């Protein structure tokens, strides 16, 4: 019998870039309300996992099930409409659009225009710097401001699950703490989070559960705090 608390499940998932196999029989579960992190070395398949979930990388074999319905093979827009938002590595804002236009792009699959306006106001309250910069083109923002914009844009689709890919990448240490605080707050407000993160120590401290990936496979999983004390994780990812 399926676990009623499971929001996302990857089952024996395989995916490739041409002849290069990126995912090799991946099994992963995210339950409603959790913050789950995925750690591993560069090239382990972490970003490919998120791309497969959001429909940017087509699964060659296996299943992706969201809220009880299979979504492997669905178009990215349909997956976004189902309730999964993807905040990609490198922020990927639209540099020649204004801050407000970027936020509106986050809601492009929605048709409830009045509520979109309400959400624009709500996002501005949570990210006041974006209100100050709303007429500024996104490409002229600082790296930290672009990260705030990328997160806020993802929230504009009203997702049930947000995929974060390396949210701390390229940020100053103080901004890393700010970004992680925002992600923790998003989770506290009821949105489920699956996060890929290079800073394994901070990710494991804030997550409920974690998976360790190597060469396209899950090699270790468990409560995040327990993995902080795991000898293999400490040697390979925590520099201990």
Dump pLDDT digits (tens) for 73-105.
899 999 999 999 999 887 788 889 999 998 988
Average pLDDT of span 112-119: 82
Residue 127 within a domain: no
Residue written as token pair 């992190």: 37
Q: How confident is the model at residue 4 (pLDDT cuts 50, 70, 90)?
A: low
Residue 239, pLDDT > 80, answer no
Residue 65 within a domain: yes
Residue 212 within a domain: yes
Instruction: Identify the CA nearest to 66 among candidates 133, 6, 134.
Output: 6
Residue 116 within a domain: no
pLDDT at 36: 97
Residue 2, pLDDT > 80, answer no
pTM above 0.85, yes or no: yes
Q: How confident is the model at residue 132 (pLDDT cuts 50, 70, 90)?
A: confident
Element housing 8 (H / E): strand 6-17
Residue 143 within a domain: no
Residue 191 within a domain: yes
- Lowest mean per-residue pLDDT among 76-80, 157-161, 176-180: 176-180
* Long-range contacts of residues 13-18, Cβ cutoff 8 Å, at least 24 apart: 13/49, 13/52, 13/59, 13/61, 13/62, 13/63, 13/64, 13/72, 14/59, 14/60, 14/61, 14/62, 15/48, 15/52, 15/57, 15/58, 15/59, 15/60, 16/60, 17/48, 17/57
Q: How confident is the model at residue 168 (pLDDT cuts 50, 70, 90)?
A: confident
Q: How confident is the model at residue 1 (pLDDT cuts 50, 70, 90)?
A: very low
Residue 111, pLDDT > 80, answer no
pLDDT at 222: 94
Average pLDDT of span 177-188: 88
Domain with 187, as residue range(s), is 6-94+159-237
Higher pLDDT: 55 or 143? It is 55
CATH number, position 185: 3.40.50.300
Domains: count for the chain: 1
Residue 26 within a domain: yes
The string of pLDDT tens digits covering residues 23-58 is: 999 999 999 999 999 999 888 999 999 999 999 999
The string of pLDDT tens digits covering residues 208-231 is: 999 999 999 999 999 999 999 888
Average confidence score pLDDT of the chain = 89
Residue 135 within a domain: no
């Amino acid at each position: 019998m399926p676990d009623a608390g499971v929001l996302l499940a990857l089952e024996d998932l395989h995916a490739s870039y041409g002849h290069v196999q990126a995912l090799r029989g991946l099994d992963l579960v995210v339950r409603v309300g959790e913050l789950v992190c995925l750690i591993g070395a560069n090239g382990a398949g972490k970003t490919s996992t998120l791309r497969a979930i959001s429909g940017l990388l087509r699964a060659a074999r296996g299943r992706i099930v969201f809220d009880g319905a299979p979504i492997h093979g669905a178009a990215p827009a349909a997956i976004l409409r189902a309730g999964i938002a993807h905040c990609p590595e490198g922020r990927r804002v639209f540099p020649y659009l204004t801050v407000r236009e970027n936020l509106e792009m986050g809601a492009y699959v929605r048709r409830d225009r009045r509520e979109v306006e309400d959400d624009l106001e709500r996002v501005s309250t949570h990210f006041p710097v974006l209100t100050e910069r709303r007429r500024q083109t996104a490409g002229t923002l600082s790296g930290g401001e672009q990260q705030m914009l990328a997160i806020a844009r993802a929230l504009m689709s009203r997702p049930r699950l947000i995929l974060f890919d390396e949210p701390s990448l390229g940020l100053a240490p103080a901004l890393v703490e700010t970004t992680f605080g925002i992600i923790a707050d998003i989770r506290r407000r009821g949105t489920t989070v699956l996060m890929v993160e290079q800073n394994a120590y901070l990710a494991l401290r804030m997550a409920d559960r974690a998976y360790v990936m190597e060469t396209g496979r899950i090699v270790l999983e468990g409560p995040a705090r327990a993995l902080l004390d795991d000898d293999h994780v400490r040697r390979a990812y925590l520099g201990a």
